[in-house]
Amino acid sequence: MMNSQIQRLTTPKPYSLLGRPSSLTQIGFSTSVLPLQFQRQCNNYPQNQKKHAMRSTGSNNNGNVKALFTPSKTEKTVAVKGTITVTLPVIGGSFSINDLLGRSFLLELVSSELDPNTGEEKPTVKDYALKVSQSLTEAKFVCNFKVPVGFGEVGAIIVENQHLRELFFKEIVLQGLPDGSLTVTCESWVHSKHANPNDRVFFTNKSYLTDETPAGLKRLRAQELANLRGNGTGERKLTDRIYDYDKYNDLGYPDSSNPRPILGGQDLPYPRRCRTGRAPTKTDPNSEKRSLIMYVPRDESFSAVKTVGFGVNILSNVFNSLLPTLETALVDPSLGFPLFTHIDTLFDEGVNIPKPKDNPGFLKSVLPNLIDTVQNGVDDRVLFDTPEMMDRDKFSWFRDEEFSRQTLAGLNPLSIQLVTEWPLRSGLDPAIYGPAESAITTELIEKEIKGVMTVEEALQQKKLFILDYHDVFMPYVNKIRELDNTTMYASRTLFFLTEDSILRPVAIELVRPPSGDKPQWKQVFTPSFDATGCWLWRLAKAHVTAHDSGYHQLISHWLRTHCCVEPYIIASNRQLSAMHPIYRLLYPHFRYTMEINALARLQLINADGVIESTFSPGKYSMEISAVVYGQSWRFDTEALPADLIRRGMAVEDPTAKHGLKLTIEDYPFANDGLLLWDIIKEWVSDYVNHYYQDPSKVKSDSELQAWWTEIRTKGHEDKKDESWWPVLNTPEDLIQILTTIIWVPSGHHAAVNFGQYTFGGYFPNRPTITRKNMPTEDATEEELRNFLKRPEDALLQSYPSQIQATKVMSVLNALSTHSTDEEYLGETPEPSWVANPVIYAAYERFNARLRELEGVIDGRNADLELANRSGAGIVPYELLKPFSESGVTGKGVPNSISI
């Protein structure tokens, strides 16, 4: 899909045959001196375009003639040279006859000042750009402006692209201005005027609060925002740059009897996604037709260069090429792994798959780290890298200590919470779901902790912790059990904190609600020393890890990062001008997220997509994420310190570092995360305090206030009336809001994303699905005999099937991969920050503190006293190390959710 989308956007439409062979000579060119491709283009060039090319004028938005600026004979001018750098399309990187005629782009310099005599905007200074050089990746164009001496400071450049296709503008450099050269960073697609008559505006790198906008730029600033907001109607074209909101009403296929509920609204509250304006389905007028090409505003998609090598291209190839090929090779969708040694062959021998007939080398070229060529040359094979966890200790996944450690330093360290009430009770209606009391009793816990203290003492000393997936999954247990090849329980897993800050699992409770004439079923499993108890415990752990895998992927990962960040992106582009300092602060943290989210809607979270086909909740996956959003998501607790306090993992303590005292001292995610949070907050504080030296300007900044209002009332519309939304009246309020928004796509996302292959690549450690009930639940005599005879078979049969496992492993490998051009937190400053000495100095301090954090994390991982992050065979906790090389490294914090 991605490659075809690129080709559609970059390949020019063929000209109609309106010209004559002699047309080149008619406009002053000899065909003998032109390359053959240009002769063909010119001979096919429409007559109306030739006439336009011979004029020395262009068209404005109203279709009127737009004359080039000509100073009067007495007016003094300054010669200013403009150099435009354009990144060439990956496909078809040549230019049309317009380049040879000097009509490629029309540029207009806009003064920041009004005319003192008229009080109106000064006339712009214009010139056409002429191409002067071209390499394989870039082309350079030059304009020569005659700028009046009294023109004033250039505040913006207007661009009209006269090509028949869009092009990616990298930067425009003006030389010869009275105050020296000026670089305007573009990094944006510029549409063809034939597709959209509105010109593009690029403001300079100087930032302005709303009420500080130079008078000559106020109209342009407002107009550009209006263009970005659009009018809320019509289907969006791929070249559009329009940001608007819609519900998640495009995940199912109602017309083919495979619908999904609409996420967003009173029944299922949910964040909003970007509006595409596609037509409704025939069956359900409230659902939107799906398309293989998913609209995102043009600048949210990858640039021409990044599209080739960026991680999303790898992910797209996994979805579009590898997964269908795997399904072809592994015909039986329910076939499991008969032995654990067969699982090992995925890393030693791989899975043979047929080579694509039309392009036999394609898979290896696009997925070199996964695809190997079989010696016989007939097939390819998917050969998985050994995950670091398995490489260090092949049997670590089997141990209870590792099972517990990963709740603090694994892939989902955001679910563990302190037990604050006893006995454990469900909040669900017992008339529907059965007795609310947990089967985990005081006597059982005190027996398992060997009488070292009472449960009451353990609660007082904050020694009991829980993974509680009881109430979130219980309403769906019976529904999920009706699906093929999967099962589900509600679960609680209890841990005891030892004196050396290590969690030890003491009990797992699995519960099934009443079903038909069957009453509620529940059973508690504990670590045992007898053979039968040991295998039941292992099976119970498999169910819990599958629950944790589903919750991690649907809530900790998708909902709390990808999904909830998209409204921030939309609101920022609709309400904050590109010249607003807060827009420029946030911009690096939004890059490419909407593109990734669109790809997820297309093939990951859609009906029968990867999530539904490989995770236990199946078709109810996204509905469950909406239920959790409605019940428990709050913006204020997305801040790391507040999240830790909410879960009982920390308490406020003004005397402690970070102002918090951790309940578990050796909690790697929290230890490293709080340092990173503080570093981000210090950078944001320096930035905000520079631009809002007058605190009252926060409340009076109309763009800023509109931005925050829209996030609350449109982006998260279903929670607009909640009392917990922070107010935005002071710089301190703004700092907290911005730090939270930046933390989510950087630190939070890195912590739950880039360890996916490390911890999930060997799926017995984190199965995404369990397919068999516990043998103690309504088992037949034959099932019990088989379990007692070969308990290993019961565990293997519970694990994902071969196709489910290989699909998940392929996707996790792609999601865990850093691209070669990843943009890491604090690594490269934005041009507008470099242009401001105060901001640039603050950014240098930000970078230095991140470099220090790298050393701190290395030191912690070398400290054998910190058993949750170091020791024999332990994967060191590096997920919050700021920087990384490319590949599956298990470290590195990118600026944004770019994979």
Alpha-helical (H) ranges within 790-836 are 791-798, 802-815, 831-834
103 pLDDT exceeds 80?
Answer: no
Quick one: pLDDT at residue 67?
41
What size, in residues, is the chain?
899
The tokens describing 489, both together, are 């329980």
Quick one: pLDDT at residue 373?
72
- Give, for 41, the enclosing helix (H) or strand (E): helix 36-43
The secondary structure of 188-219, three-state, reads EEECECCCCCCCEEEECCCCCCHHHCCHHHHH
Angle between helices 668-691 and 400-409 in degrees, nearest 10: 0
820 pLDDT exceeds 90?
Answer: no
- In terms of average pLDDT, the best of 230-239, 317-326, 367-376, 638-647 is 638-647
pLDDT in tens, 778-814: 888 999 999 999 999 999 999 999 999 999 999 999 9
CA gap 580, 447 in Å, rounded: 62
Quick one: pLDDT at residue 40?
31
pLDDT in tens, 205-240: 999 999 999 999 999 999 999 999 999 999 999 999
Pairing of strands 371-373, 379-382: antiparallel
Who has greater pLDDT, 91 or 662? 662
User: What is the average per-residue pLDDT within 756-775?
Assistant: 97
pLDDT grade for 355, boundaries at 50, 70 and 90: confident
pLDDT grade for 303, boundaries at 50, 70 and 90: low
The tokens describing 646, both together, are 């909410």
User: What is the average per-residue pLDDT within 86-106?
Assistant: 68
Average confidence score pLDDT of the chain = 89
Quick one: pLDDT at residue 44?
35
Residue 146: CB partners within 8 Å, gap ≥ 6?
Answer: 69, 71, 77, 78, 79, 80, 125
CA gap 800, 768 in Å, rounded: 7
880 pLDDT exceeds 60?
Answer: yes
As a whole number of angstroms, the longest Cα–Cα distance in the chain is: 105
Quick one: pLDDT at residue 90?
59
Quick one: pLDDT at residue 308?
45
Cβ-contact 54, 103 below 8 angstroms:
no
* CB neighbourhood size of 840 (10 A): 14
Cβ-contact 251, 601 below 8 angstroms:
yes
Residue 415 is which amino acid?
S
> Which contacts of 229-237 are long-range, i.e. CB under 8 A and separated by 24 or more positions?
229/574, 232/275, 233/277, 234/277, 235/276, 235/277, 235/278, 235/279, 236/275, 236/276, 236/277, 236/295, 237/195, 237/295
Which of 322, 429, 301, 305 lies closest to 384 in space, CA to CA? 322
Active site residues: 557, 562, 749, 753, 899
User: What is the average per-residue pLDDT within 232-254?
Assistant: 96
User: What is the average per-residue pLDDT within 495-522?
Assistant: 96
Cβ-contact 225, 203 below 8 angstroms:
no
Which of 184, 119, 126, 115 lies closest to 155 in space, CA to CA? 184
Beta strands (DSSP E) in 739-785 are none
Give SS3 for 888: coil
| CA 775 to mean position of chain CA atoms | 40
End-to-end C-alpha distance for the chain, whole angstroms: 16
pLDDT in tens, 400-431: 999 999 999 999 999 999 999 999 999 999 99
Residue 857: CB partners within 8 Å, gap ≥ 6?
Answer: 672, 877, 878, 880, 881
Quick one: pLDDT at residue 62?
36
2 pLDDT exceeds 50?
Answer: no
Residue with tokens 């301190």: 732
CA gap 213, 390 in Å, rounded: 57
- Give, for 86, the enclosing helix (H) or strand (E): strand 77-87
Q: What are the angstrom distances between the C-alpha of 221 and each of 123, 204, 377, 575?
A: 17, 12, 60, 11
| CA 590 to mean position of chain CA atoms | 8
178 pLDDT exceeds 60?
Answer: yes
CA gap 665, 649 in Å, rounded: 10
Residue 885 burial (C-beta neighbours within 10 Å; 0-12, 13-18, 19+): exposed
CA gap 262, 707 in Å, rounded: 26
CA gap 724, 632 in Å, rounded: 12
* CB neighbourhood size of 336 (10 A): 21
Quick one: pLDDT at residue 325?
87
CA gap 328, 322 in Å, rounded: 10
The tokens describing 635, both together, are 């913006």
CA atoms within 13 A on the CB side of 103: 21
Instruction: List the Cα angle 226/228/229 in 5-degree steps.
Output: 65
**CA dihedral sign of residues 536, 538, 541, 542:** negative
- Residue 121 per-residue DSSP state: B
Cβ-contact 485, 801 below 8 angstroms:
yes
User: What is the average per-residue pLDDT within 530-547?
Assistant: 98
Who has greater pLDDT, 771 or 30? 771
pLDDT grade for 315, boundaries at 50, 70 and 90: confident
Quick one: pLDDT at residue 620?
98
Instruction: List the Cα angle 662/663/666 in 5-degree steps.
Output: 70
- All structural domains of the chain, each given as residue ranges with its CATH number in brackets, are 77-204 (2.60.60.20), 416-527 (3.10.450.60)
159 pLDDT exceeds 60?
Answer: yes
Quick one: pLDDT at residue 102?
56
Angle between helices 593-603 and 564-575 in degrees, nearest 10: 130
Quick one: pLDDT at residue 61?
38
pLDDT in tens, 259-297: 999 999 999 999 999 999 999 999 999 999 999 989 999
Quick one: pLDDT at residue 60?
37
